[in-house]
A and B are shown apart, each in its own frame.
Chain A
């Protein structure tokens, strides 16, 4: 639909945009990214024709834009510029009515039904109908921005050029506006080209992205091809890190601050763990990077308080998350920086041990009971009870993402081996159990000190985890049995 070929141009003799070529298909959205001064706005002006190109072509539907009459072009292409101040105030309605200008002709052209319905529709889409009679300068920056988007939509053009459409908008309005534009693009088969400041938003909404630097295309393609840490870092001269979007297959980036996190040297030590009949509690001075399958704050994150709480065998509450959150608050901890597990096992039997390595040390904490022992290879339908082997692995070291996952695998293997050693059997099948039905695992690290890229069973860290988890689990099982025997 929109085809740009070898486009160059700028102000005076200086070509700010150099030899840019791309095509945008109907119903799709292209996002233009680039640092300040990379030529994004100049490129937009060249495409919209307000700035004459020094060479190259811009075609809409196969027709060069220079061949269009001014009004004809405005019926094909609507442009949303960046916001400017105005000497005279218009009402919102008058402003949006101007979007119909290219559709009016003749000296006395009157306002048609179609004009009216397009204006109403644009106001409805941008959610500004209630401001119809208000003067524009009395609106906030975000509302004004929506008025100008409505003006562009009222033009009812097939190509939409947007220069930072989400400027001045809060996150809710950013989302609503882009949702609306995206929906319009799909429903009305519009071709959208938009400049974005926010790489993550561009990645979420655009089908194609174009990364511009010093007037030239650095990279172009689908978001996963363009939003890559190394390209973004070179172009923007900033440290960033890639991570996946939680719901969409669209890559996101996170800024890494130039200032190093000032960290009081945090050290996890076994003696700082508080073991009581109520819970096993560890509080760190610094937040620890954590991956876990806990009740509260499962998944990954940074946390300071770690709780393994004892609950009654018959603990049966529909909303255990809410109840557990209440418990954490009652104890005076902050639920947002607390990882919480539960166990029916008596927590005073918890085993906490520290293992030294060259890089630093690992603290292992285990509570174990085998009331619900299961042989996973022969899992059959059974009643679900309370989790009974909770394993914490807390590392004084800097773990990679792989190391976190490998630490979990290693710990699980060591746990299974411990059950084997102790001859724990699945009561239903009579075979050796591999775990219990609701085991939990947690890996935390200070992310300071020695860098540990891997945690497989023959790495230094893996060895400590393997031995540690095995020993602690065996010991915990023995005290569980002794307690039971009494």
Chain B
């Protein structure tokens, strides 16, 4: 218990630190005092609350969603390399999002939620297709098979997106920027758009924390332990797709967050999902806030897409995990 208390304390301090840095550092440096005393500097307060804060909150939500979804996918597939990006689920969500933007679709009743809902549908469809295909290739669903299948689907869906982009003409630049992943200039409406889905998806995954622990020992073993496999699997797949779809809809494709964060959490605090899930959520938020901070300050005034930063960290971590798994040093 003591160990867990430390884990949560450290994670929350990191998150708080990331938020404070995220809202104060930038082209205009703002004193943290403005946070609790807006009247001390009206202009600064305006920048902080209307530009930086929604950006930080959005980055945090997207990071949390991707990290917890990654942790759940890894547990479900017993595959430490699985994450929304490597499985091709992010690409599926992108296709949904680009299609919505391209055709200007708005579904009645859904309003602003049209974009995330169609992204989620794309994510779920891709997830199911990837799993079905991987199972067709190799019944035991080996780590490499699943990741390769993810790459195949990513490539294919990427080409579909490229085709649509080529057909748009003038909006090209905007969509490409969006594709590389960014949380800039989104504002509070985007936070509102994603928030309900991220909360529901995370909560559903958290409900399956014990089932995920059991499934780490294989579906058969989990069934012996009394897990309703069909129901839990479906819940985890749908929740993971909801989280990915919502995250991609507001920020584009940001890779590797779902890989790096759960891996670090497991390395430091063990692989019990009762803690891996919430800790991934908190630390995913902190990591993406920091990545966003780096992306907009490192070559200021130009902004780097945030996906560039996460891939820069994530790809080597991916290589490292793969190496360790292959060498049998678990």
Mark A residues whose CB is within 8 Å of B: 45, 48-50, 69-75, 78-79, 81, 84, 86-91, 94-95, 98-99, 101-102, 104, 107, 137, 155
Asked whether B224 lies within 8 Å of A74 as measured between CB atoms, the reply is: yes
Asked whether B330 lies within 8 Å of A70 as measured between CB atoms, the reply is: no
Asked whether A98 lies within 8 Å of B214 as measured between CB atoms, the reply is: yes
Most buried by A among B214, B221, B226: B226
Q: Which stretch in B26-34, B125-133, B266-274 binds the other chain? A: B266-274
| CB-contact partner of A87 in B79, B213, B220, under 8 A | B79
A88-B78, A101-B214, A102-B225 known; 19 other A-B pairs, CB under 8 Å? A48-B223, A49-B223, A70-B223, A71-B226, A71-B228, A72-B226, A74-B224, A74-B226, A78-B224, A81-B221, A84-B217, A87-B325, A88-B330, A89-B270, A90-B271, A91-B270, A98-B210, A98-B213, A137-B330
Contacts of B213 in A (CB 8 A): 90, 94, 98
Give complex CA distance A155, B227 in Å: 13
Give complex CA distance A79, B221 in Å: 8
Knowing A81-B220, A87-B78, say if A98 contacts B330 (CB, 8 Å).
no
CB closest chain-B residue, reference A109? B210
CB closest chain-A residue, reference B229? A70
Asked whether A107 lies within 8 Å of B207 as measured between CB atoms, the reply is: yes
- For this complex, 20 residue pairs linking A to B, each with C-beta atoms less than 8 Å apart, are A69-B228, A70-B227, A71-B226, A81-B221, A84-B217, A87-B79, A87-B143, A88-B266, A88-B330, A89-B270, A90-B216, A90-B271, A91-B270, A91-B272, A94-B213, A98-B214, A101-B210, A101-B226, A102-B225, A155-B225
B187 within 8 A of A: no
Interface residues on B, range: 20 to 34
Asked whether A50 lies within 8 Å of B270 as measured between CB atoms, the reply is: no
Give complex CA distance A72, B228 in Å: 11
Asked whether A102 lies within 8 Å of B271 as measured between CB atoms, the reply is: no
Contacts of A75 in B (CB 8 A): 226
Q: Which 3 A-B pairs have the closest CB atoms?
A: A74-B226, A102-B226, A79-B224
Asked whether A98 lies within 8 Å of B224 as measured between CB atoms, the reply is: no
Mark B residues whose CB is within 8 Å of A: 74-75, 78-80, 143, 207, 210, 213-214, 216-218, 220-221, 223-229, 266, 270-272, 325, 330
Asked whether A87 lies within 8 Å of B217 as measured between CB atoms, the reply is: no
Most buried by A among B75, B221, B225, B229: B225
| CB-contact partner of B224 in A48, A72, A87, A94, under 8 A | A48
CB closest chain-A residue, reference B216? A88
Q: How far is the CB of B236 from chain A (nearest CB, A)?
A: 15
Asked whether A104 lies within 8 Å of B210 as measured between CB atoms, the reply is: yes
Knowing A50-B220, A50-B223, A101-B210, say if A88 contacts B228 (CB, 8 Å).
no
Knowing A94-B213, A98-B213, A137-B330, say if A89 contacts B271 (CB, 8 Å).
yes
Q: How far is the CB of A120 from chain B (nearest CB, A)?
A: 16
Q: How far is the CB of A401 from chain B (nearest CB, A)?
A: 47
Give complex CA distance A48, B330 in Å: 31
| CB-contact partner of B225 in A87, A88, A99, under 8 A | A99
Give complex CA distance A70, B223 in Å: 7
Give complex CA distance A104, B207 in Å: 13
Give complex CA distance A87, B229 in Å: 19
Knowing A74-B225, A98-B213, A102-B225, say if A87 contacts B80 (CB, 8 Å).
yes
Contacts of B227 in A (CB 8 A): 70, 101
Contacts of A95 in B (CB 8 A): 217
Q: How far is the CB of B10 from chain A (nearest CB, A)?
A: 20
CB closest chain-B residue, reference A151? B225
Give complex CA distance A285, B207 in Å: 75
Q: How far is the CB of B36 from chain A (nearest CB, A)?
A: 34
Contacts of A88 in B (CB 8 A): 74-75, 78, 80, 216, 266, 271, 330
Q: How far is the CB of A445 from chain B (nearest CB, A)?
A: 54
Give complex CA distance A45, B272 in Å: 27
Q: How far is the CB of B223 from chain A (nearest CB, A)?
A: 5
Q: How far is the CB of A79 from chain B (nearest CB, A)?
A: 4
Contacts of B210 in A (CB 8 A): 98, 101, 104
Contacts of B229 in A (CB 8 A): 70
Give complex CA distance A90, B270 in Å: 7
Contacts of A86 in B (CB 8 A): 78, 216-217, 330
Give complex CA distance A91, B269 in Å: 11
Give complex CA distance A107, B205 in Å: 12
Q: How far is the CB of A42 from chain B (nearest CB, A)?
A: 13
Give complex CA distance A81, B271 in Å: 22
Asked whether B224 lies within 8 Å of A81 as measured between CB atoms, the reply is: yes
Give complex CA distance A69, B223 in Å: 11
Q: How far is the CB of B226 from chain A (nearest CB, A)?
A: 3
